[in-house]
């Protein structure tokens, strides 16, 4: 297990270097931040632009810029934002917890809903409960998340006035974004849990557990669940990673001060330091999650742990 | 067995239905305490459904009980609620299943899984249950029981897992044990051990046993009373000696005549194609000819010649991808196959017999040694010539369903080798060839447009044989090609193999674990153990004068389909050792001694 983790860690370092290299390079193809900053701001001479580039450091060769960035990465100093001059680390420090918390809550809601519902659907395969769960899951899958978010805002914030429409202030502001994400995720996850459970229930050891005289709850929640969780862990891990990256839309709708909003604004402003930092931090998170998934595997499945 | 003895279990007029199909029809039989009733039948006979119905586990699969009663201690189990059944299952009636590899839950320790049933029914505390679990493991003769409690199922071999299953089933001293094909998935030496343990424990505990099996040899060894099932109905029942000596029902007679019997070829120099007994209009009829299979051309140079073949698999690697542990699957194996000859490779799991076949077919690369076909070594061939070898050598796998593409018609699958190798270019001619091949293997040519799921297991294997023949090969590697088939189908396929050999001069590399089948159809035999040949010689030499200890052990472990034969109670102990070793610690290579012309045995290291 230790050797396995070391191997994974080495892989992770390569992944991070590859991602940051591609991102830093690609981002510089999108245009000159000096020009963007003064778009429509009167006449600029070539000299003015050169001065701005020197101030931003974008006049240096790409690899020098990239190495500076890597240096900063080690010391957690991502430089200053091109727009406003705020410390990028500070910006991330504010945005990351907001995004993580929202993602965690959404994931938690979704797992807490999809496991019992998925098991119920699997055990009553083909019966009314199964049909109902599958139909609702299909409806959930068909909602575009921004549409669902807008509808929730219209109903609960504008018509009923129960919840704040946007921003992050107090627990009430978490409800709508978390429910939006949670519903979409649950719709997929219920189907996954159902499929995995159906497969597990076909196993001989489930028949053996029943032949022992165990109650159906013991059979399902003790014998089947841990086995059925093994494929789910991978998927939930990937999903969480995807959630961190894909949360932009939801953050825009609810004006959530998270990584998505930060990245969105940075793209518009060609704010290289911010964008590089956001993407690097997110990819580090995803690599970290995958590492956690591997550890979780070992905990759940002795075949991996004792290897 | 006095008349006053009330039966422990009595199944009366039981009919079980799934949807609209009735899989068990009007079945009645009784089991007395301390006795074993074998329920025998081929696939689809309803024997497993009968056992699951007795446990009321068939309910979970959607079974409906149309008629009948199942009385256990005067209680009708079919009227019991699932809650009542839960207090009977595992406590009064226990069950052992066929697949030891998947019967134990992979995420719990052996100890936890045995304790669970003790804590549930006997209300033992955890530590008392653990102590009892250890005693149970000792009872099924598992070594190191204390340590074993903390192991996980994947760390145990199939035979060990089946013993754990038996320990678990017997934990609460049930009155009735239902064993559903408990040894079918095990090697013969392990099967002999498990059967011995079951017989001993039955005597000690005085329990009744329902033994479900398709293997007449196992029936003869285990049963007091036999119930023969066919298509969901009981066709015959009686004491075991009577069933074997004087079978009444035509189906029983056909079944018994199809069972390959070890030793039936004693005195014969060559394998023999035997006529078959088949059911025709409800009467067993003997069809086909008897013919001595003298097809091997030993005067010609060998078709295939394997010299010092060495295959090892990397099992564990260090951080830099260098192998630290390897499995020595095949070690310095040498043999020749002559045109028209059947060479059998026999051995238990892990003996390397399939690896040899796969290496010859170039599905697996070797680490050393040479394979030559028609005198030319693989290593001296160009890539194009090696590709052409795949036309000359064809492979038939154990599972005919898994080896046919479910989304392609069987006609497509059979035509594929013809098209791949560009043997016939005209589409119509390919079609004609496919039709010919199908008819040759005993299927109507009209089935070419059908899909694999529309065929039975035996028919699918015929399709696989037709496909193997399509490229007009010289050598066919049949890897456990008969193992998944019912005996009556098996007998037909054996004859098909022999007919094709006589007709086309085919050579076979016949890979099998079934000694009786091997005796029936091979010219020469090589016995493999842990990747090395222990004994090799003509069929007659190996079977009539087995000269290596391992061969003798293997032969004595085969259950004999004759209840009057002395039961083999000689204890065969020990597991097949793990072939995985550290790099640098490779097992010793045994040298061979020729004890008779053409008869070799391995000298002990």
pLDDT tens digits, one per residue of B381-430: 999 999 999 999 999 988 888 889 999 999 999 999 999 888 888 889 99
Query: Residue B2: which pLDDT band, with cuts at 50, 70 and 90?
Result: very low
Q: What are the beta bridge partners of residue B292?
A: B272
Percent of chain B at pLDDT above 70? 97
- Residue whose entry in the numeric block shows the structure tokens 């429409």: A165
CA distance A121 to chain B (A): 15
User: For the residues B237-263, what does the mean pLDDT come to?
Assistant: 91
CA distance A114 to chain B (A): 22
What gap in Å lies between CA B16 and CA B14, rounded to an integer? 7
Query: Residue A42: which pLDDT band, with cuts at 50, 70 and 90?
Result: low
What gap in Å lies between CA B78 and CA B54, rounded to an integer? 8
Q: Which residues does chain B have within 8 Å of residue A204's beta carbon, measured at their own beta carbons?
A: 97, 99, 102-103
CA distance A217 to chain B (A): 12
Using CB atoms, pick whichever of A212, A226, A302 lies closest to residue B152.
Answer: A302
State which residue of chain B sits closest to A224, comparing Cα positions: B105
CA distance A290 to chain B (A): 19
Question: What pLDDT was estimated at residue B67?
Answer: 94
User: For the residues A82-107, what does the mean pLDDT come to?
Assistant: 88
Q: What are the beta bridge partners of residue B76?
A: B71
Do residues B106 and B152 touch, judged by C-beta distance below 8 A?
Answer: yes
Q: Is A85 exposed, middle or buried (0-12, 13-18, 19+ CB in 10 A)?
A: exposed
CB contact under 8 A, A203 and B154: no
**DSSP H or E segment with residue B479:** strand B475-479
Domains of chain A with bracketed CATH: 2-74 (no CATH), 96-271+280-305 (1.10.3720.10)
Instruction: Please state which of the ranges A107-116, A239-248, B193-202, B488-497 shows the lowest mean pLDDT.
Output: A239-248
State which residue of chain B sits closest to A10, comparing Cα positions: B319
Interface residues of A toward B, Cβ cutoff 8 Å, are 3, 6-7, 203-205, 207-216, 223, 226-227, 300-303, 306
What gap in Å lies between CA B212 and CA B180, rounded to an integer? 5
Q: Is A63 exposed, middle or buried (0-12, 13-18, 19+ CB in 10 A)?
A: exposed
What gap in Å lies between CA A288 and CA B556, rounded to an integer? 58
User: For the residues B492-497, what does the mean pLDDT come to?
Assistant: 92
Question: What pLDDT was estimated at residue B4?
Answer: 52
State which residue of chain B sits closest to A126, comparing Cα positions: B62
Tens digit of each residue's pLDDT (9 = 90 or more) over A51-77: 888 877 778 888 888 888 888 888 888
Question: What pLDDT was estimated at residue B573?
Answer: 67
Interface residues of B toward A, Cβ cutoff 8 Å, are 55, 57, 60, 82, 85-91, 94-95, 97, 99, 102-109, 116-117, 120-121, 152, 154-155, 165, 168, 318-319
Is the model's pLDDT at A37 over the cut of 80?
no
Q: Which residues does chain B have within 8 Å of residue A226's beta carbon, measured at their own beta carbons?
A: 107
Mean pLDDT, chain B, as a whole number?
90
Instruction: Name every residue whose Cβ is closer than 8 Å to that of residue A105 and which is 6 or more positions away in sequence.
Output: A174, A178, A182
Q: Which residues does chain A have within 8 Å of residue B95's beta carbon, measured at their own beta carbons?
A: 208, 211
Tens digit of each residue's pLDDT (9 = 90 or more) over A190-228: 999 999 999 999 999 999 999 999 999 999 999 999 999
Q: Which residues does chain B have within 8 Å of residue A210's beta carbon, measured at their own beta carbons?
A: 57, 60, 89
DSSP assignment letter at B291: E
State which residue of chain A sits closest to B165, comparing Cα positions: A208
Using CB atoms, pick whichever of B90, B104, B318 lies closest to residue A205.
Answer: B104
Instruction: Name every residue whose Cβ is closer than 8 Å to that of residue A201 and which is 6 or more positions away in sequence.
Output: A122, A123, A224
CA-wise closest residue to B363 among B518, B536, B465, B479? B479
**Which is more confidently placed, B496 or A166?**
B496
What gap in Å lies between CA A43 and CA A39, rounded to an integer? 9
pTM for this prediction: 0.82
CB contact under 8 A, A213 and B97: no
Q: Which residues does chain B have within 8 Å of residue A216's beta carbon, measured at their own beta carbons?
A: 82
User: For the residues A175-189, what does the mean pLDDT come to?
Assistant: 89
Using CB atoms, pick whichever of B99, B108, B120 lies closest to residue A212.
Answer: B120
Using CB atoms, pick whichever of A3, A211, A223 lies closest to residue B105.
Answer: A223
Distance, C-alpha A229 to centroid of its chain: 20
- Residue whose entry in the numeric block shows the structure tokens 């990245």: A263
CA-wise closest residue to B111 among B127, B141, B89, B133? B133
Question: What pLDDT was estimated at residue A242?
Answer: 83
What gap in Å lies between CA A274 and CA A78, rounded to an integer? 8
Question: What pLDDT was estimated at residue B438?
Answer: 94
Is the model's pLDDT at A31 over the cut of 80?
no
Would the CATH topology of B9-246 be identical to that of B338-361+380-559+566-577+588-602?
A: yes
Is the model's pLDDT at B190 over the cut of 70?
yes
Tens digit of each residue's pLDDT (9 = 90 or more) over B522-542: 999 999 998 999 999 999 999
Query: Residue B3: which pLDDT band, with cuts at 50, 70 and 90?
Result: very low
Question: What pLDDT was estimated at residue B532?
Answer: 94
User: For the residues A132-161, what does the mean pLDDT come to?
Assistant: 87
CA distance B120 to chain A (A): 8
CA distance A302 to chain B (A): 6
Do residues B371 and B306 touch, judged by C-beta distance below 8 A?
Answer: yes
For B174-208, give the DSSP string: -SEEEEESTTTTS-HHHHHHHHHHHHHHHHHHT-E
Question: What pLDDT was estimated at residue A306?
Answer: 66
Tens digit of each residue's pLDDT (9 = 90 or more) over B36-83: 999 998 888 889 999 999 999 999 888 999 999 999 998 999 999 999
Q: Is B19 exposed, middle or buried (0-12, 13-18, 19+ CB in 10 A)?
A: exposed
CB contact under 8 A, B102 and A205: yes
Kindly report the CATH number that applies to the domain delimited by B338-361+380-559+566-577+588-602: 3.40.50.300
- Which of B18, B107, B158, B319 should be substituted to probe chain A, the one whose Cβ sees the most A Cβ atoms within 10 Å? B107
**Could you tell me the residue ranges of all domains in chain B?**
9-246, 338-361+380-559+566-577+588-602
Query: Residue A307: which pLDDT band, with cuts at 50, 70 and 90?
Result: low
Question: What pLDDT was estimated at residue B91?
Answer: 94
Q: Which residues does chain A have within 8 Å of residue B117's beta carbon, measured at their own beta carbons?
A: 212-213
Chain A / chain B CB contacts < 8 angstroms: 76
User: What's phi and psi for B152, nearest 5 deg?
Assistant: -100, 155
- Residue whose entry in the numeric block shows the structure tokens 């006609």: B411
Instruction: Name every residue whose Cβ is closer than 8 Å to that of residue A303 and which is 6 or more positions away in sequence.
Output: B106, B152, B154
Question: What pLDDT was estimated at residue B1?
Answer: 44
Query: Residue B571: which pLDDT band, with cuts at 50, 70 and 90?
Result: low
Tokens of B389: 């070898």
Percent of chain B at pLDDT above 90? 61
Instruction: Please state which of the ranges A3-12, B89-98, B240-249 shows the lowest mean pLDDT.
Output: A3-12
Question: What pLDDT was estimated at residue B58?
Answer: 92
Domain B9-246 has what CATH class?
alpha beta
Is the model's pLDDT at B326 over the cut of 60?
yes
User: What's phi and psi for A87, nearest 5 deg?
Assistant: -65, 130
What three-state secondary structure class fits A32? coil
Question: What pLDDT was estimated at residue A39?
Answer: 66
Q: Which residues does chain B have within 8 Å of residue A203's beta carbon, measured at their own beta carbons?
A: 102
């Amino acid at each position: 297990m230790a050797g396995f983790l070391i191997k994974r860690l080495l892989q992770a370092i390569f992944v991070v270097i590859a991602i940051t290299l591609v991102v830093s390079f690609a981002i510089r193809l999108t245009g000159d931040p000096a020009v963007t900053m003064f778009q429509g701001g009167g006449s600029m001479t070539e000299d003015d632009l050169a001065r701005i580039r020197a101030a931003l450091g974008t006049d240096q060769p790409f690899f020098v810029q990239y190495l500076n960035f890597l240096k900063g990465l080690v010391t957690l100093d991502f430089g200053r934002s091109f727009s406003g001059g705020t410390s990028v680390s500070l910006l991330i420090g504010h945005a990351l917890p907001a995004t993580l918390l929202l993602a965690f809550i959404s994931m938690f809601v979704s797992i807490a809903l999809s496991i019992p519902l998925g098991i119920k659907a699997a055990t009553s395969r083909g019966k009314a409960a199964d049909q109902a769960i599958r139909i609702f899951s299909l409806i959930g899958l068909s909602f575009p998340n921004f549409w669902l978010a807008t509808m929730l805002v219209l109903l609960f914030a504008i018509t009923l006035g129960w919840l704040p429409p946007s921003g992050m202030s107090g627990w009430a502001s978490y409800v709508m974004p978390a429910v939006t994400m949670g519903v979409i995720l649950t719709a997929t996850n219920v189907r996954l849990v159902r499929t995995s459970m159906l497969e597990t229930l076909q196993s001989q050891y489930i028949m053996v557990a029943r032949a022992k005289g165990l109650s159906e709850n013991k059979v399902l929640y003790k014998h089947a669940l841990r086995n059925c969780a093994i494929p789910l862990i991978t998927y939930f891990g990937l999903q969480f990673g995807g959630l961190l990256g894909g949360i932009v839309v939801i953050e825009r709708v609810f004006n959530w001060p998270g990584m998505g909003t930060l990245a969105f604004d940075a793209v518009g402003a060609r704010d290289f330091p911010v964008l590089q930092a956001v993407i690097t931090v997110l990819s580090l998170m995803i690599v970290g999650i995958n590492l956690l998934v591997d550890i979780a595997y070992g905990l759940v499945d002795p075949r991996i742990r004792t290897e | 067995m006095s008349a006053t003895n009330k039966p422990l279990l009595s199944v009366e007029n039981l009919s079980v239905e799934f949807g609209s199909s009735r899989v068990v029809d009007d079945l009645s039989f009784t089991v007395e305490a301390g006795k074993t009733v074998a329920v025998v039948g081929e696939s689809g006979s309803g024997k497993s459904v009968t056992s699951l119905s007795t446990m009321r586990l068939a309910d979970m699969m959607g079974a409906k009980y149309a008629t009948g009663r199942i009385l256990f201690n005067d209680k009708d189990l079919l009227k019991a609620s699932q809650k009542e059944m839960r207090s009977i299952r595992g406590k009064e009636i226990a069950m052992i299943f066929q697949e030891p590899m998947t019967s134990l839950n992979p995420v719990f320790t052996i100890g936890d899984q045995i304790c669970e049933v003790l804590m549930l029914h006997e209300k033992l505390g955890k530590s008392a249950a653990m102590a009892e679990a250890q005693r149970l493991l000792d009872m099924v003769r598992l070594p190191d029981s204390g340590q074993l409690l903390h192991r996980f199922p994947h760390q145990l071999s199939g035979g060990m897992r089946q013993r754990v299953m038996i320990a678990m089933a017997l934990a609460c001293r049930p009155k009735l044990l239902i064993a559903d094909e408990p040894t079918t998935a095990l090697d013969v030496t392990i099967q002999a051990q498990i059967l011995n343990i079951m017989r001993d424990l039955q005597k000690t505990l005085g329990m009744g046993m329902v033994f479900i099996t398709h293997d007449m040899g196992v029936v003869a060894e285990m049963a007091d009373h036999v119930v023969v099932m066919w298509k969901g109905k009981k066709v015959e029942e009686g004491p075991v000696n009577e069933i074997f000596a004087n079978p009444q029902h035509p189906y029983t007679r056909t079944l018994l005549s199809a069972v390959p019997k070890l030793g039936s070829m004693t005195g014969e120099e060559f394998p023999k194609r035997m006529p078959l007994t088949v059911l025709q209009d409800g009467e067993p009829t003997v069809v086909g000819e008897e013919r001595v299979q003298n097809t091997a051309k030993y005067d010609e140079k060998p078709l295939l010649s394997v010299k010092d073949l060495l295959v090892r698999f990397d099992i564990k690697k260090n951080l830099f991808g260098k192998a630290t542990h390897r499995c020595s699957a095949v070690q310095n194996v040498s043999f020749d196959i002559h045109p028209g000859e059947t060479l059998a490779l026999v051995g238990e799991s892990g003996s390397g017999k399939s690896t040899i076949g796969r290496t010859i077919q170039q599905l697996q690369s070797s680490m050393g040694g040479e394979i030559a076909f028609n005198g030319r070594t693989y290593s001296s061939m160009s890539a194009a010539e090696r590709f052409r070898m795949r036309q000359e050598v064809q492979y038939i796998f154990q599972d005919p369903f898994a080896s046919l593409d479910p989304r392609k018609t069987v006609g497509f699958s059979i035509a594929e080798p013809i098209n791949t190798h560009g043997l016939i270019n005209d589409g119509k001619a390919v079609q004609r060839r496919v039709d010919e091949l199908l008819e040759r293997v005993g299927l109507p040519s009209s089935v070419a447009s059908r899909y694999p799921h529309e065929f039975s297991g035996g028919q699918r294997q015929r399709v696989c044989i037709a496909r193997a023949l399509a490229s007009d090969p010289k050598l066919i590697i049949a890897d456990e090609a008969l193992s998944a088939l019912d005996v009556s189908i098996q007998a037909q396929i054996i004859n098909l193999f022999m007919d094709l050999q006589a007709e086309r001069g085919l050579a076979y590399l016949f890979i099998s674990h079934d000694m009786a089948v091997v005796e029936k159809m091979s010219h020469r035999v090589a016995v493999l153990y842990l990747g090395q040949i222990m004994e090799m010689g003509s069929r007659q030499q190996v079977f009539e004068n087995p000269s290596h200890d391992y061969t003798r052990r293997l032969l004595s472990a085969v259950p004999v389909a004759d209840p009057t034969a002395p039961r083999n109670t000689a204890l065969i102990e020990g597991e097949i050792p793990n072939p995985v070793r550290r790099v640098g610690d490779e097992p010793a290579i045994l040298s061979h001694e020729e004890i008779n012309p053409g008869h070799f045995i391995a000298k002990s290291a």
